[in-house]
Chains A and B, each alone.
Chain A
Amino acid sequence: MSAYDLLIAPFMDYGFMRRALIACLCLALGAAPIGTFLSMRRMSLMGDALSHAVLPGAAIGYLVAGSLSLTAMGIGGLIAGLSVALLAGVVSRMTVLQEDASFASFYLISLAVGVLIVSLRGSNIDLLHVLFGTILAIDNDALMLIGTITSLTLLALAVLYRPLVIDCFDPGFLRAVGGRGPLIHGLFMLMVVLNLVASFQALGTLMAVGLMMLPAAIAQLWARTLPAMLAISVVTAFVSGYAGLIASYHLELASGPTIIVAAAIIYVVSLVAAPSGLMSRYIRRPHLAN
């Protein structure tokens, strides 16, 4: 088998592989930087909670559309995710509960309702699709939705970059100069939900955060400045997507989990080998004079 057969032919021969690859590129460009900001805001697990919160909306979308329509499920997921994010925000502002506690409550309620709806009407196959995604079944409509979300995300990140960065490390300053921190936070959460919806189409609700948080963690191990982190997160997310697709094609594995496993392999290697990883603890280098 030549390198061409191994690495390129699958995408030349099959449209579904090409669409899957483009979906991965979109997710890498949009979801990975969002994941980096999430973890910079110490909200890594909130992305996970939100990804589960998307489920009931997707399930209702599925019921209304009567089939596995990714668009209907995407819109349902968007509404459900935003509702949970909003409710959690409101509850944490109005009561003694912290935002992470109210998030945990709402996403559990949301997840339970979602699984109930799916189990009530759908078959087990459908449940598997919703939970684990269908990246190889992404049609042109779904690709348009994912691409639109990615474009919006990149635009929003470019416009909001400065207040978003300041809100991450010095929210008090942003407040003092009247920089509308809560609005920035709200728009950022909107981007998180949008990207989860895009990601959930490809990877399912269980692993939607995979291409968001793993590349973000890898990027933090390698880079020391934010722009470098964002770049590394995009590159590793796309490499994971590509490698995962190739591996799943040749080894006949489920594509979604294979992509996440590819990211996980890069993560483990980074944990050991990166400048701030494990190896640096055990390799003694002479200290500097000044």
Chain B
Amino acid sequence: MNAPAIALENLTVTYNRHPAVHHVSGSLARGSLTAIAGPNGAGKSTLLRAIMGELKPAEGAIRRAVSSRDYGYLPQAADINRRFPVSVIDTVVTGAWKRAGAFGGIGRAERQKASEALVAVGLEGFEARPIGSLSAGQFQRTLFARLLLQDASVIILDEPFTAIDSRTTQDLIDIVLRWHGEGRTVVAVLHDHEQVRAHFPQTLLIARELIGWGPTHEIMTHDNLKRARALAERWDENAPVCAVPA
């Protein structure tokens, strides 16, 4: 069997010693399409940031087949300064970073690819528009176009369809499915259980602790979701030191 794209080994990630992700083990097969589900505060974004190498594990380890620098990563959109005077095409073309780096030239070929990516996400003719003039949906399409340009073998999406209308969501899900068809490994945090059941063969259900990880229909059961809700709400300021052996 192929080595997995990403393997989590007893992963624990903490904020001020409180675990946000607690003793999670498992692996993402190459070319798998996985949804990460769980209630608010369940550690979904924390898990993604750990996978991206932005947070260091408090315990355990993450094994990656390729460096996380070569992943395509879409964080929750709030991190981007939308008032910055940069055009749609320039935003998309930053996706060529892996090939051009900080100093390399970006030639006509990359610009052509960026224009094609804009067509693919339904933003034909938006090249010169400043990003500040885009709607939330158009902006998310722009970020997907950049992911297309990044041409990454692993793609990590954090709530990609939040505050996006149904038509845009459908278009973007089509792109996710296209990536899956091309053999890329895709992981997405999602809140809509229907979307998860309809499009994502694999699910990782988390509520700080791992509730289940496997084929979606086995994981997204009523009992599991109920357990996830109960676990995520538990919080003890004076919790004792975790006794699970490393």
Contacts and interface: CB of A to CB of B under 8 A. Distances in A.
Interface of A: 40, 159-160, 162-163, 165-166, 168-173, 175-180, 223-226, 229
Contact of A229 (B71, B81, B85, B131): B85
Given A162-B102, A162-B103, A170 B81 contact: yes
Contacts of B84: 40, 168-169, 226
Contact of A171 (B79, B102, B130): B79
Which range contains the number of B residues in contact with the other chain? Answer: 20 to 34
B169 interface: no
A171 B80 CA distance: 8
B94 A170 contact: yes
Interface string B102-128: 110000000000000000000000000
B161 interface: no
Given A159-B103, A163-B102, A170-B80, A176 B71 contact: yes
A225 B102 contact: no
A172 B98 CA distance: 15
Given A169-B131, A176-B73, 5 more contacts: A169-B84, A172-B75, A173-B73, A173-B80, A178-B69
Contacts of B79: 170-172
Nearest to B90: A165
A180 B67 CA distance: 15
Contacts, number: 58
Contact of A165 (B75, B80, B86): B86
B94 A166 contact: yes
B86 A169 contact: yes
B94 A173 contact: yes
Nearest to A176: B73
Interface of B: 52, 54, 67-69, 71, 73, 75, 79-81, 84-87, 91, 94, 97-98, 102-103, 130-131
A67 B103 CA distance: 44
A175 B94 CA distance: 13
A179 B97 contact: yes
Nearest to A168: B84
B46 to A, nearest CB: 15
Contacts of B69: 176-178
A177 B151 CA distance: 13
A175 B53 CA distance: 10
A224 B84 CA distance: 9
A179 B131 CA distance: 22
A190 to B, nearest CB: 17
B86 A177 contact: no
A175 B54 contact: yes
B80 A172 contact: yes
Q: Which of A160, A177, A223 has the largest count of B CB atoms less than 10 A from its CB?
A: A177
A200 B94 CA distance: 36
Contacts of A173: 73, 80, 94
27 contacts: A159-B103, A162-B103, A163-B102, A165-B86, A166-B94, A168-B81, A169-B80, A169-B84, A169-B86, A169-B91, A171-B79, A172-B73, A172-B80, A176-B52, A176-B54, A176-B68, A176-B71, A177-B69, A177-B97, A178-B69, A180-B102, A224-B85, A224-B130, A225-B85, A225-B87, A226-B84, A226-B86
Nearest to A179: B102
A162 B110 CA distance: 15
